[in-house]
Homo-oligomer: A and B are copies of this chain.
Amino acid sequence: MLHKQRPATALAGLESPAAGMGRRIDFALQQALSLAAAPGAPPLLGSAMRHAVFPGGARIRPQLCLAVARACGDPHPALSDSAATAIELLHCASLVHDDLPCFDAAAMRRGQPSVHAAYGERIAVLAGDALIVLAFQVLALGAAGQPARLGPLLLLLVQRVGAPDGIVAGQALECEPRVTLAAYHLAKTGSLFAACTEAGALAAGADPAPWRDFGLSLGEAYQVADDVRDVVATTQALGKPAGRDRDLQRPSSASELGLGGAIEYFDRLVARAIAAVPACDGAPLLRELVRTESERLVPKASVRDLALAA
């Protein structure tokens, strides 16, 4: 079995730990992958798709999507599940393609061989493609009971993933001669975090627009935390090679602002995210979760001391 225990995150605390949202997400992802592994499916492709999705990372995107849906009442759990699952599948697809030899040439991901390292480059390209397609299949199936919501959700996700400013465009910015850090962060990470909060609201029948800034700020905070951890963490702790941003000369807040400056910027983004949570019954809980999650991402005790000492 490739399916290992997922590290708990603060957002999982919205439910009791035992029956948490993490389990709901993993179940939905397992169901999704079973669609692609029907009899007659090419075995390597199906296996590579599973390898790309399990074991997962923190599953922070689908948890954020479900947390917002919950804060908005979550009247259609099948729909919010499908939106959260689709977003995680799209995220996993982007990791598979970003790890390819022509991009990051990453041999490790989430503590195991990356998909191209385990299955070869050809299957890695196709597994990414198939995961993108599967994401939209999951969305269509989850919207069966709410057909009027499929169009708006689908349009939201394609805009946050494709060109001109979704995560695929964000990755493409690495191929452009000049790019600003803000545009790069917005497209590469912010856009899919915005998709999480907007889709969570939309799936629950709420207006997605007020939820956009919350997702964007969180996404940028997450990217800055990733930049910081790329500098200070070990390869073992990350489950992927450390120091890659510097090695690949990628735009990074840590190299642009210095470690201390990046941590200050992270704190400002977390504060902005907390301030951006729209008024709703679940707002206090969401704000508290962002605070706890931010401490998980950039722990005061270790990273900040390191920055002061630097």
Q: Which of B42, B102, B155, B163 contacts A49 (CB 8 A)?
A: B163
Judge whether A147 and B151 touch: CB under 8 Å: yes
Instruction: Tell me the interface secondary structure of chain A in the complex.
Output: helix
Q: What is the 8 Å Cβ interface bit string for chain A, positions 121-159, against chain B (1 contact, 0 not)?
A: 111011011101110110111011001101100110011
Judge whether A164 and B97 touch: CB under 8 Å: no
Judge whether B137 and A175 touch: CB under 8 Å: no
Q: How far is the CB of A217 from chain B (nearest CB, A)?
A: 19
Q: How far is the CB of A256 from chain B (nearest CB, A)?
A: 20
| Residues of chain B contacted by A38 (CB below 8 angstroms) | 164-165
Contact-residue bracket for chain A: 35 or more
Task: Determine the distance from Cα of A49 to Cα of B169 in the docked complex, in whole angstroms.
Answer: 12
Which A residues from 74 to 128 make CB contacts under 8 A with B?
93, 97, 100, 102-103, 120-123, 125-126, 128
Number of copies: 2
Task: Determine the distance from Cα of A37 to Cα of B162 in the docked complex, in whole angstroms.
Answer: 11
Q: Known contacts A162-B133, A168-B45; decide if A125 and B100 are in contact (CB<8 Å).
A: yes
26 A-B pairs whose Cβ atoms sit less than 8 Å apart in the complex: A37-B164, A40-B164, A40-B183, A41-B164, A41-B169, A42-B164, A42-B169, A43-B176, A46-B163, A49-B163, A93-B129, A120-B175, A122-B175, A123-B172, A129-B168, A130-B163, A130-B168, A130-B169, A134-B162, A134-B163, A136-B136, A139-B154, A140-B151, A147-B148, A150-B151, A150-B154
Judge whether A176 and B42 touch: CB under 8 Å: yes
